[in-house]
Chain A
Amino acid sequence: MDALDLSRWQFGITTVYHFIFVPLTIGLSALVAGLQTAWVRTGKEHYLRATKFWGKLFLINFAIGVVTGIVQEFQFGMNWSAYSRFVGDIFGAPLAIEGLLAFFLESTFLGLWIFGWDRLPKKIHLASIWMVALGTTLSAYFILAANSWMQHPVGWTMGDGRAELTSIGAVLTNSTTLVTFPHTITACFLTGGAMLLAVSAWHLRRNNQPEVFKPSMRLGAWVVLIAGLGVLITGDIQARVMTEQQPMKMAAAEALYETTGSASFSLFTIGSLDGDEELYSVRIPSLLSFMATGSPDGEVEGINNVQSEYEQAYGPGDYRPIVPVTYWSFRLMIGFGGLAMLIAAAALWFTRGDRRPRSRWLWIAAVSTVAMPLLANSFGWIFTEMGRQPWTVFGLFTTAESGSPSVSAGEAATGLIVLTVLYGVLAVIEFGLFLKYAKAGAPEIPAPTTDEADKPLAFAY
């Protein structure tokens, strides 16, 4: 492998890994803030215990999201210097704005929230966690604006060998951003809700602290359902925007080789996806046309047709992404998201009123929900990034042109190996801690002491 391939693997691994934790951070910060708000407003102790319990899992997760985020900020320059030179005038701005507006907000107020339990007035302490939630959401907006510009460049002009910004407003209100942001944020809530649902189900099956975990489970399940609905609606709009802006990606998502009216959508296919006769597939008639165009008999362009259009527009070359990857990641994204919603609906139904299901499989399904949005999120990003290939900036700049000429294959290999091994070790540590604290259950709230002077800190590392 040369430096470019090694850098691609590094970017893929570090980014997918980072994005395991990010949606949990975004979803859980708002859910913890919501639970703490419920406690401040009602004074009910089980809300406080839930806040502390989910807050701890949130923090374990936040830490690893933050430290792996540093790599994201640096590796554009380290491994992708040609890309950085080409897009810096545009792409750097949302990144810098993200740091100034979002990273400072979330890190500063998280410190205040963690250490401020006994020092800040109750409402200011509550406002701190809301600031953290706001920071994480702002961060998502700016980074998605940067990514959307790579999917669909707007507000730019070609300067002296580089893309130059002509309208920051166009970049921040890119139609791609406007559909990607709600799609991603609702997916983050789905992820957070699934965490509440799954961990609560684990405790409820053992009849452990039902006063805390029954409300948490139902909250989680409702969030999964409502957010899931949002993911569906925004995903539907996004598919149409994508079909218009990146027709190759939509064609590759279905492995559709020839332009078709009233195109069917295959749930799965056995056989190769290279356009030859497939062995077996299960198809829903007209669904692809509906997803891509909003009409059941709308025409969807095929890979071969788009390929020849691109050749005319951009010169000779292979403009097809790796079709099996886009085909399967697209299905796995939708499938895992949908499965999480089904389980959430079942969980709500079977625990309505005072009911407590006895079926072992129901509980196992509920606990397994935690993994589904994480997988769906990863496949979603793998789909959208792999589906854009061979471009880094669609229509403007290819991945092959984007690497760092001054980084040798040896250096790139070192980076890939060091970060992959480190991330692997951290995954084991993180998973162990997460299990330990998830199983430990919600803390009891100690009776208030009157002796204020000698009291140790409410929280310390």
Chain B
Amino acid sequence: MELTTVWFLLIGVLWAGYFLLEGFDFGVGILLPVVGKDDTSRRLAINTIGPVWDANEVWVLVAGGATFAAFPEWYATLFSGFFLPLLIILVALIVRGLAFEYRGKRPGAAWKRGWDRAIFWGSLIPAILWGVAFGNILRGVPIDANHEYVGGFFNLLNPYALLGGLTTLSLFTLHGAVFLALKTDGPMREQAGRLAARLALVAVPVAAAFLIWTGLTHEDGWGIALSVLAALALIGAVLATRARREGWAFTATGATILLAVAALFVTLFPNVMPSTLDAANSLTVTNASSTPYTLKVMTWVAVCFTPIVLIYQGWTYWVFRKRLTLSDIPASGAH
């Protein structure tokens, strides 16, 4: 296999890992006002992701860095072209990350309420905008012969991309509800289970509509096959949720996200950012890539270190595998 193909797949893997992991972090943040009636239950929800959210977020940093290293043209066109949405995502991620760390650091109710809002909006906005961004990448955007994006901000808010945003929003929210049901016990487990069952009623039609629209416009065989598998996994998630099999439900929402990202990347290939102005302007794995030498170096680095990262990050989940209950949450000010 060409190294450019390998790196295209690896970047797909990084985004899939990011959405799989930070997807439920976003979901928990979005559900915070719903599941957290009082401060202790809000803290319970936050602490289900407490030890892991930061490392989950690193996936997007590595995805960005890997794109810079392996496909500099893609990195440059994408990040400068999607300037304002990325700026909004940055602000959201900044306030959300600080909120986890700082909300318990002062006793006042107003202080906590402020940071709770930061967690909610800081989760909701990127959950939508990442979908909008990928919708636009798949749909194609105006790129000129110099590989510069020439579309402006409002061009990014087209129906297909917005449906992409709703898809990631509904999938991540469902994924978060399923995660909460898996990681807690007591009333929150019950409530999260009921929420997941209702959220699935939204996620299934929205995701199906997006995948069908994608399949119809791109007519990519493998993409459609993976989309069908993603849809089947989502239906599996619905069934497992109704049967209160939380482990299976989480596996199924996770599989849905992985398969959906796989479908998007397979559909995109060999383009990385198609141009709507002229197919000759499209960025592809070939014309956007680094030199074979750089790709070879990066492949060795990835081959040597990715397994180690996966092992210790996986081990974290094993260490913190216990379900949390309200009685696990220490009194305020205990930290």
- Contact residues of A between 226 and 272, Cβ < 8 Å to B: none
A76 part of interface (Cβ distance < 8 Å): yes
Alpha-carbon distance between A167 and B329 when the two chains are bound, in angstroms: 52
Q: Find out whether the CB atom of A461 lies under 8 angstroms from the CB atom of B91.
A: no
Q: Find out whether the CB atom of B294 lies under 8 angstroms from the CB atom of A93.
A: yes
A158 part of interface (Cβ distance < 8 Å): no
B243 part of interface (Cβ distance < 8 Å): no
Q: Find out whether the CB atom of A92 lies under 8 angstroms from the CB atom of B46.
A: no
Q: Find out whether the CB atom of B47 lies under 8 angstroms from the CB atom of A99.
A: no
A418 part of interface (Cβ distance < 8 Å): yes
Q: Quick one: given A95-B68, A168-B297, are A108 and B55 in contact (CB under 8 Å)? A: yes
- Contact residues of B between 50 and 89, Cβ < 8 Å to A: 50-55, 57-58, 61-62, 64-73, 75-81, 83-84, 86-87
A406 part of interface (Cβ distance < 8 Å): yes
Main SS of the interface on chain B? Answer: helix
CB neighbours of A111 from chain B (8 A): 50-55, 316
- Contact residues of B between 302 and 320, Cβ < 8 Å to A: 302, 305-306, 309, 312-313, 316, 319-320
Alpha-carbon distance between A103 and B210 when the two chains are bound, in angstroms: 34
Q: Quick one: given A88-B75, A115-B50, A454-B327, are A63 and B102 in contact (CB under 8 Å)? A: yes
CB neighbours of B75 from chain A (8 A): 76-77, 84, 88, 92
A448 nearest CB across to chain B (Å): 15
CB neighbours of B5 from chain A (8 A): none
Q: Find out whether the CB atom of A104 lies under 8 angstroms from the CB atom of B72.
A: no
CB neighbours of A91 from chain B (8 A): 68
CB neighbours of A98 from chain B (8 A): 65
Residues 90-118 of chain B, each 1 if its beta carbon lies under 8 Å from chain A, else 0: 11011101101111111000000000000
- Contact residues of A between 319 and 355, Cβ < 8 Å to B: none
Q: Find out whether the CB atom of B100 lies under 8 angstroms from the CB atom of A70.
A: no
B217 part of interface (Cβ distance < 8 Å): no
Q: Quick one: given A68-B94, A81-B80, are A88 and B62 in contact (CB under 8 Å)? A: no
CB neighbours of A429 from chain B (8 A): 98, 102
- Contact residues of B between 253 and 310, Cβ < 8 Å to A: 290-291, 293-294, 297-298, 301-302, 305-306, 309
B183 part of interface (Cβ distance < 8 Å): no
Main SS of the interface on chain A? Answer: helix
Alpha-carbon distance between A82 and B98 when the two chains are bound, in angstroms: 32
Q: Find out whether the CB atom of A85 lies under 8 angstroms from the CB atom of B291.
A: no
B335 part of interface (Cβ distance < 8 Å): yes
Stretch with Cβ within 8 A of B (4 or more), from A176-184, A389-397, A407-415: A407-415
CB neighbours of B67 from chain A (8 A): 92
Q: Find out whether the CB atom of B149 lies under 8 angstroms from the CB atom of A66.
A: no
CB neighbours of B43 from chain A (8 A): 460-461
A364 part of interface (Cβ distance < 8 Å): no
A216 part of interface (Cβ distance < 8 Å): no
Alpha-carbon distance between A109 and B54 when the two chains are bound, in angstroms: 10
| Residue from the list B58, B70, B94, B329 in contact with A457, Cβ < 8 A | B329
| Residue from the list B65, B87, B316 in contact with A108, Cβ < 8 A | B316
Q: Find out whether the CB atom of A104 lies under 8 angstroms from the CB atom of B76.
A: no
Alpha-carbon distance between A454 and B76 when the two chains are bound, in angstroms: 53
Which residue of the partner chain A has the closest CB to B330?
Answer: A456
Q: Find out whether the CB atom of B65 lies under 8 angstroms from the CB atom of A96.
A: yes
| Residue from the list A67, A92, A162, A460 in contact with B50, Cβ < 8 A | A460
A436 part of interface (Cβ distance < 8 Å): yes
Alpha-carbon distance between A97 and B304 when the two chains are bound, in angstroms: 11
Q: Find out whether the CB atom of A405 lies under 8 angstroms from the CB atom of B148.
A: yes
Alpha-carbon distance between A461 and B86 when the two chains are bound, in angstroms: 28
Q: Find out whether the CB atom of A114 lies under 8 angstroms from the CB atom of B291.
A: no
Which residue of the partner chain A has the closest CB to B100?
Answer: A461
Q: Find out whether the CB atom of B330 lies under 8 angstroms from the CB atom of A93.
A: no
- Contact residues of A between 105 and 121, Cβ < 8 Å to B: 105, 107-112, 114-116, 119-120
B250 nearest CB across to chain A (Å): 19
| Residue from the list B46, B54, B76 in contact with A81, Cβ < 8 A | B76
Q: Find out whether the CB atom of B148 lies under 8 angstroms from the CB atom of A406.
A: yes
B150 part of interface (Cβ distance < 8 Å): yes
B2 part of interface (Cβ distance < 8 Å): no
Which residue of the partner chain B has the closest CB to A117?
Answer: B335
Alpha-carbon distance between A60 and B101 when the two chains are bound, in angstroms: 7
- Contact residues of A between 380 and 437, Cβ < 8 Å to B: 404-407, 411, 414-415, 418-419, 422, 426, 429, 433, 436-437
- Return the 8 tightest CB-CB contacts between A and B, nearest first: A88-B72, A77-B79, A92-B69, A92-B68, A81-B80, A96-B65, A404-B80, A99-B62
Given contacts A93-B301, A433-B102, 6 further A-B contacts (CB under 8 A): A70-B93, A85-B147, A88-B73, A100-B66, A100-B302, A456-B334
Chain A residues with CB under 8 Å of chain B are 59-60, 63-64, 66-71, 73-74, 76-79, 81-82, 84-85, 87-93, 95-101, 103-105, 107-112, 114-116, 119-120, 159, 162, 164-166, 168, 404-407, 411, 414-415, 418-419, 422, 426, 429, 433, 436-437, 454, 456-461
Q: List 20 A-B contacts (CB under 8 A).
A: A74-B64, A77-B78, A78-B86, A84-B72, A85-B76, A88-B75, A89-B72, A89-B294, A92-B68, A93-B69, A96-B69, A103-B62, A108-B58, A111-B50, A111-B53, A111-B316, A406-B149, A419-B87, A419-B91, A433-B106
